[in-house]
Amino acid sequence: MRKTLKRIVQAAPFVMIAVMAAVYLTVFKDMSLEQLLRYTPAEPIAAAAVLLVMFALKSLSYFFPMALLFAACGVLFPPLAAIPLSAAGCAVMATIPFLIGRYAESDLCDRLAEKHRKIAIIRETGTGSQFASAFFLRIISCLPYDIISMALGSMRYSYKKYLAGSVLGTLPGAVLTTLMGQSISDPFSAKFIICACLELVIVLVSAMIFRMKKRKKRI
């Protein structure tokens, strides 16, 4: 009885992910920023709550583009409100799949590796600082957000170190995308172009630092 109950508990998150994938592919597949904004109410607190729910739903779907959610934050709120909301969204997205990985079977990372060859990157970085590993895996965006979260959860990372690294690693791109959302109506504006270029520079520089650290470990 206990074994059956344990299997049900372990299988439930993956059933939820499968359901969310089906919902996305049937309902939200071709969603644009304009369509996403239609789902959000005009009242600020209600709009923020809806966006956080969207972030939670995104954490259970490999397909939903989180850039749309950050851009929506920028469209609906001024920077002083949009950026904290985006940070809260990062925390929500990082937490749910992490808990799924934490309470799933310990060989989850091995099973994920069968589907994603790049999962070896997570294993390599996971041998060092947990905070630094989570940070670099987020900022270079080498794997789907959800996959990284579940893998690090199954590797029994410290939640505090993982969450801090994940949020700080995601936040630069999130902030820039949020600011880009405020000028989405004019993609050729200086603000939009500067934010897009800065986001690219952050990813490239972080990838270079990550490779340098890997080389030092091999020496």
122-149 pLDDT tens trace: 666 555 688 888 888 888 776 778 888 8
68, exposed or middle or buried, with CB in 10 Å at 0-12, 13-18, 19+? buried
Are the CB atoms for 130 and 157 separated by under 8 Å? Answer: yes
Tokens representing residue 184 in the block: 């989405």
Q: What is the spatial distance between Cα 134 and Cα 96, in angstroms, rounded to a whole number?
A: 15
- Alpha-carbon gap, residue 209 to 219, rounded angstroms: 16
- Whole-model pTM: value is 0.75
> Per-residue pLDDT tens for 77-90?
888 899 899 999 99
Name the nearest CA neighbour of 50 among 27, 77, 26. Answer: 77
Query: What is the average pLDDT across 198-211?
Result: 70
Tokens 């934010």 label which residue?
195
